[in-house]
Every structure is written in structure tokens, then in C-alpha cells.
Amino acid sequence: MSNFPKQAIALVYFPHSLSARNAHNSPFLPEIISNLAPALAKVGWQVDRFIGKLGDYCSTHLSLVPHSPDYRTVYIHTTNLSEFVQALANFATQQASNYPLIHTWNWLAAKVGLQLKSLTNVQWLHSDENNSHLVAIEDCHYYQHGNWQICHHADEIIQFSFSQSQPQVQSKAQAKHQLGFSAWDKIVLCVDVWDRIEQVLQITTQLEQVPLIRSNLDFSYQALHWVFLNSHPIHPAKKQAVQKHITASNLQQKVHCPEPEGAEEFLLYHCAADVCVIPDRYEPFANKALQAIACGTPVVASSHSGARFAIVPQETGVLVTSDEPVAWGEAIARVLLPEGQWVRRLWQYYLGSYEPQLSWTVTAAHLSEVYRRLLAQTIAQTPFWKSQKPYTILLPEQIKSCSHQSSTAQQVVSVPAGIETRSKSHGFRQKVFGNF
């Protein structure tokens, strides 16, 4: 990731809630939270996971466990929810943290979300063990439990479902064949680059000059093909101007501008591509990168663009810090030749093979896109996100049969307020607050 400052977000969860509403908590919910939290930190967030507990305490008690510079768990024990909300606010003040976005993870945590939403202009998302009950507000039973308030006031309801979809193709060679390419061809995909055609054509020319390409690509049976796709119709005059640029660069045989017939063929190009290139440093969001990654195709994008939030180097793609065509050519070459293990792993993920670390990275990238769009529309007062309530994010089916990953489990030690402690594994200082 690039060295941009990371925005802090808060995840709130009450395990073993006293509420009858949580008597049947999903056994997968704690695992989803504990795996998504570090993955969200990996894709660009400062993540504070708040775990609450209500009971008969003389005073509020708080313990902090740092897992990495970008991910911490904060345990808060209070008498009631109002004290929990106050403790969270006090912690944010003392840590100089601002949480413009909060994601609550069960019904009791949602009450915290309701309070914070009424007090501040926070973006609030909610997930639960069964999100379907949140939208069935016509049932009087749900009115009694306040679910109509959650559905009405939350900015989005996030539902996690297990994917059972079958891959569109079984190999990139099959996808290439269906589109009229040779199985040996290398395909570089670009989406919506018509406004940056000169930059892309410079990269196209530069790529074949990269020593790694020249020394490894046997042009007797392999060829580089660039495919320019558009996600929306293009004016004929603009398309004609682009074709003139391609002809002037003598790239008519290498650059293709197909017009896919329907969504399936559009996705088929993503599956066939060996790499997806997003050269625009001003690309605001990561939706194009996420679409390619979902099809098992690695992404090369600018480290200054919104696409960077979907890219973890050597897992889902490569980030380029420069605008120079030679830098882009070298980055694309690293993906194409030689084919790295991580590139094969991404394709196997598309085929349904369960790679725990990669699976959670991709899931976090999809959730991160929702977070970023909600925050962006708050700042710009522009509707970047249309609430769906619920919005569904798919998890690999294999998660059901996998044991809980306890990678975030660490011993929690209560200490007096204000004592400074050092994390041995990361060498940075954190304050752990006791009673206040």
C-alpha cells in the first residue's frame, strides 16, 4: 500500500449478548469479524475493533490490545449501553481518533449505532446473524425489538452470504478460445480508458521494450494483445478519434476495441485477460479493480487512485507509483512474465479454491468499497452509493467447514490508567486505559 494516512473506522460487537435477540448468534459471525478486521487494515484502514460487555461493574473498564500499527482490539466493560458509548467517545478523544464510520455486528451493538447516529454525523453500517429480519419491518414482532429503527437509520445493512456460484470458465485458455484468441496469447485488459488513450498507447509501446518481456516472450507463437472495453456506450465520433490514435501508433494488430454483447461476454473478457490495467491516477473508486479480481485477474493500478484500496501487492495486483510509461511497462511485465505463484493463486480463487488469506483480502476489499463510497458522499454531498438494505457480500462456501482462525487472539492485561506499554512485536507505543 502507499503511504497515505489511513482513516480510522470502528467495528463494534457484543459477544454472548445478554439480549434474547442474540440467543442464536451465528457461529460464523465472530470468525467473520476477527478475519475481516486485519484484512481491512491490510487494504488501507486504521481498524479499531471494540468488543463490549455489560454487567455489574463499579466503573467503566477498558483494555487495549495492539495487533499491528493499523489494527487494535479495544475491550470495554460497562454497566449499560450509554456508558459504553461514552467510553468509546472518551477513547477516541484520548487517542486523537475520529470515527466517521462505524460498523456494528449484532443487535445489541446496533443500539450503540443508533445512539451514535443520533449524536453525530457518523456513517453507520450494520450486520447481524440474520439480516433478513431487519428488512421485514411489516412484522409487529420486529417493531417490538426495534429493528425498524435499525433498518430506517442505518446507512447500509451488510449481509454476508456463502457463494455457491460456478465459474464461467474453467481456464483462461478456454475464455481466450471463446473470444477468438489463441491459448498462448497474452491479453492486457483496459476498461474505460478512452479519455486517456495517448497514455495507454505509450504504455502499450513501452511494454514490448521491457527486457523481461523481450527475453521471455517467444513471438513465434505468443503475442501481446490489448483489449479496450467500455462499460457504457461510446459516441461514434469519439470512437473514430480513438481508432485514429491507434492507427497513428501502428498498433492496429495489437489493440482491439470489442463491443461485448451483454454482461456475460463483458465478464468473459475479464476472465480471459492475464492482467487488467487501470492507468488513471484519478480513478475515484475500486469497482473496476474489484470486477477484475473477482474474475481471477490481477490488477495493475496507480498507487494514487481509488483502485489501490482493492490491491494488496503480491495478492491481488501491483501498484505503480509513477506516471512514466516505462514504470507501467515494468509493472505489467512482472505480472505477465514469469507467472508468479500469487497470480496462479488468484485464478484458483476464482475457480473456487479456498485460500484463507486471499479470500478475506478480497472480501475486505469489497466491504472497503462500500465504506469509501459512503464516506465520499458525506464529504462531497454527491450520491456515490445507493443504499440497498441489505447489500450482500459473498464469502467462500469453504469457510463453513474451516476451523476458527485465532490469529488475532492475544492475552489482555488490565493495567492502571495512563500506563504506557510497548508492543514487543511491532515496537510502537500504545496507552492502555484502565478505569476512568
Nearest-5° Cα angle at 302, 198 to 176: 70
13-66 pLDDT, tens digit per residue, is 998 644 444 444 555 778 889 999 999 999 999 999 999 999 877 778 899 999
Tell me the whole-structure pTM to 2 decimals.
0.83
Q: How far apart are CA 30 and CA 15, in angstroms?
A: 8
Q: Is the pLDDT of residue 138 over 50?
A: no
Whether the pLDDT of residue 197 is over 80: the answer is: yes
- Quote the Cα angle for 307-309-315, to 5°: 95
C-alpha angle 242-246-247 in degrees, rounded to nearest 5: 115
Q: Please give the residue that has the higher pLDDT: either 312 or 132.
A: 312
Q: Would you state the cell numbers that stand for residue 393, as one nine-digit string?
A: 457480500
CATH superfamily of 172-351: Glycogen Phosphorylase B; (3.40.50.2000)
Kindly give the pairing relationship between strand 45-54 and strand 61-68: unpaired
Give the pLDDT score at 270. Answer: 97
Q: Which amino acid, one-letter code, is at 204? A: T
User: pLDDT tier at 289 (50, 70, 90 boundaries)?
Assistant: very high
Matching fold, domains 7-165+369-401 and 172-351: yes
Q: Grid cell 470495554 — which residue?
A: 76
| Cα 164 to Cα 396: distance, rounded to the nearest angstrom | 8
Mean pLDDT throughout 288-302? 96
The reported pLDDT for the residue numbered 143 is: 41
> What percentage of residues in the chain have a pLDDT greater than 70?
79
Average pLDDT over residues 303-324: 93
Compute the distance between CA of residue 92 and CA of residue 212 in angstroms, rounded to an integer: 49
pLDDT of residue 367: 96
What stretch of H or E contains 124? strand 123-126
Supply the DSSP symbol for 392. E
Q: What is the pLDDT of residue 435?
A: 32
Mean pLDDT of the chain: 81
Residue that wins the pLDDT comparison between 362 and 17: 362
Q: Give the model's pLDDT for residue 426.
A: 37
**How much is the pLDDT for 222?**
61
In this model, does residue 268 exceed pLDDT 70? Answer: yes
Quote the cell numbers at residue 314.
503480491
What are 396's strand-pairing partners?
163
pLDDT value at residue 129: 64
Task: Fill in the amino acid letter for 408.
Answer: T
Please answer whether residues 117 and 12 qualify as being in contact, where contact means their C-beta atoms are separated by less than 8 angstroms: no
pLDDT at 1 over 50: no
Question: Which tops the pLDDT comparison, 390 or 273?
Answer: 273
pLDDT(131) > 90:
no
Least confident interval from 286-290, 342-346, 354-358, 426-430:
426-430
Q: What does the pLDDT read at residue 60?
A: 83
Query: What's the CATH fold of domain 7-165+369-401?
Result: Rossmann fold (3.40.50)
Phi-psi region of 111 (alpha: psi -120 to 50; beta: other; left: phi over 0): alpha
The model's pLDDT over 147-194, given as tens digits with 9 standing for 90+, comes to 778 888 999 999 888 766 778 899 999 999 999 999 989 999 999 988
Confidence of residue 431 (pLDDT cuts 50, 70, 90): very low
Least confident segment among 144-153, 288-297, 302-311: 144-153
Q: What are the extents of the domains in the chain?
A: 7-165+369-401, 172-351
Pick the most confident of 32-41, 52-61, 250-259, 381-390: 32-41
Q: Check if the beta carbon of residue 64 is closer than 8 Å to that of residue 430.
A: yes
